[in-house]
Amino acid sequence: MLLFVVSIATFAIFFLVPRLAGMSADDLASRYVGKAANAQVIHDTAIRLGFNDPVIVQYGRFVKGIFTGVDRNYGPGIEHCPAPCLGYSYVSQNPVLPDILNRLPITLSLALGAAVVWVIFGVATGVVSALRRGSFFDRLSMGIALAGVSLPIFFTGIVSLAIFRDQLGLVGDVADWVPFSEDPLTWANNLILPWVTLAFLYAAGYARLTRAGMLETMSEDYIRTARAKGLAERVVVLKHGLRATLTPVLTMFGLDLGLLLGGAVLTESTFSLPGIGKYAVDAISNNDLPQVMGVTLIAAAFIILANLIVDLLYAVVDPRVRLA
């Protein structure tokens, strides 16, 4: 249902709104022709892309393509885009789904790698800060966390590239994407800056959330009871304190990871990583509806999937959920 609503909303934004604003089918088509196209070429393009049909018919055609596939004339012949087909780009004329799937490993590498970094550093920092509340470490780490959530990635990204790549030469040429299967070391070397930069932004929020949760949990009666029973402090903190704190962290993690899998727009653009986020930026700047629809649906699917996984993990983290 969510995917259906998202697809209708996206379609309406790109088609219905311009038509209501007075744009004709030829006006819409004029975005997808060469710069020297004459009126006839523009008109033919409008017909070819089906812009003269009612918007509901165009939407129906898009949905039909998902279930039955789409045929397209590529010049010398007709090719079939098999179901589920998200259509062909108006600009590049490439089928959308293979383009997105082709970029998925890049976005997956970026998002999952960054997630590992930010969860480890964010949660660990939050725990230590809570246990040493008011200490120099607490103040310093929370100060850094504040900087992390405040500084935009297009700033921290460019600065980190300039320092760690250009001046110190510690990392490779990030823009030169190498798949994990081809060369794992180069893959990691090229991604480490995007991971850290992206994690810097997210870890900050996790550190603050974990710290707040830990402060609250560690003052609970059952923590005092656990200590009174003579449990080791490590067990009290990790098994009884942290575990109870993780539920809201996990909720946030699900949302964040789902969003990132749909495209880390700023990070990919800053580091010239040709992932789904970069694809989304290009699609929007080109008004390329099939590409926008494809990215939106894939992103929405990732958010649903991530939340489903998180819901299942609640039961692992918090035994009360299993009992309920």
Partner 1 sequence: MTAALALVASACGGGGGGSKSSTGGGDAAPASQYKAAVTQVVNPSTKTGGTLRMGMPGDFDSVDPGDMYYGYAWNFARFYTRALTMFKPVPGEEGLQLVGDLAEDLGKPSDGGKTWTYKLREGVKFEDGTPVTSKDVKYAVARSLDKDILPSGPTYFNDWLDTGDYTGPYKMKGKLDSWKGIETPDDRTIVFHLKKAYGGFDYFAMLPQTAPVPEAKDTGSKYKEHPVATGPYMFKSHELTKRIELVKNPNWDAATDPNRKQLNDSIEVLLGQNEDDLDQRLLSGKIDVKVNSTGVAANARKTVLTDEKVKQYADSALIDRTWFTNINGDVKPFDNIHCRKAVLYAADRSAIQGAYGGPDAGGDVALSLMPPKMTGYQKIDPYGVEATPGGNVDKAKEELAACGQPNGFSTTISFRNERAAEKQTAEALQQSLGRVGIKLDLKGYPQGDYFKLYAGKPDFAKKNGLGLMVYGWGADYPEGFGFFQQIVDSRVIRPAGNTNLGVKDPKIDALIDQAAAETDATKRGAIWAQVDKQVMDSAFILPYVWAHGLFYRPPTLKNVFVSQNWGMYEFLTLSTQ
* Chain contacts with partner 1 (rule: CB under 8 A): 23, 26-27, 30-39, 41-42, 44-45, 48, 73-77, 92-94, 99, 102, 152, 155, 158-159, 161-163, 165-169, 173, 175-177, 269-272, 274, 278-279, 282, 285-287
Cis peptide before 84 (omega within 30 of 0): yes
Q: Which of 271, 311, 248 is nearest to 114 (CA)?
A: 271
- CB-nearer residue toward partner 1: 26 or 318: 26
Distance in Å, CB of 182 to partner 1, minimum: 13
Side-chain-side CA neighbours of residue 37 (13 Å): 17
- CB-nearer residue toward partner 1: 247 or 272: 272
Pair 225, 274: CB distance under 8 Å: no
Distance in Å, CB of 185 to partner 1, minimum: 19
- CB-nearer residue toward partner 1: 202 or 271: 271
Distance in Å, CB of 321 to partner 1, minimum: 43
What is the rounded distance in angstroms from the CA atom of residue 87 to the CA atom of residue 294? 8
- CB-nearer residue toward partner 1: 32 or 206: 32
Determine the length of the chain: 324
Phi, psi dihedrals of residue 77, rounded to the nearest 5°? -170, -170
What is the rounded distance in angstroms from the CA atom of residue 121 to the CA atom of residue 130? 14
Q: What is the DSSP letter of 33?
A: S
Distance in Å, CB of 188 to partner 1, minimum: 19
Tokens standing for residue 124: 């660990």
- CB-nearer residue toward partner 1: 35 or 234: 35
Nearest-10 Cα torsion for 19, 25, 26, 30: 70
Distance in Å, CB of 286 to partner 1, minimum: 8
- CB-nearer residue toward partner 1: 26 or 53: 26
- CB-nearer residue toward partner 1: 22 or 134: 22
Q: Which of 262, 267, 305, 259 is nearest to 280 (CA)?
A: 262
Exposed e or buried b per residue across 50-77, where buried means at least 16 C-beta atoms within 10 angstroms of its C-beta = ebeeeeeebbeebeebbeeebeeeeeee
CA 55 remoteness from chain centre: 29
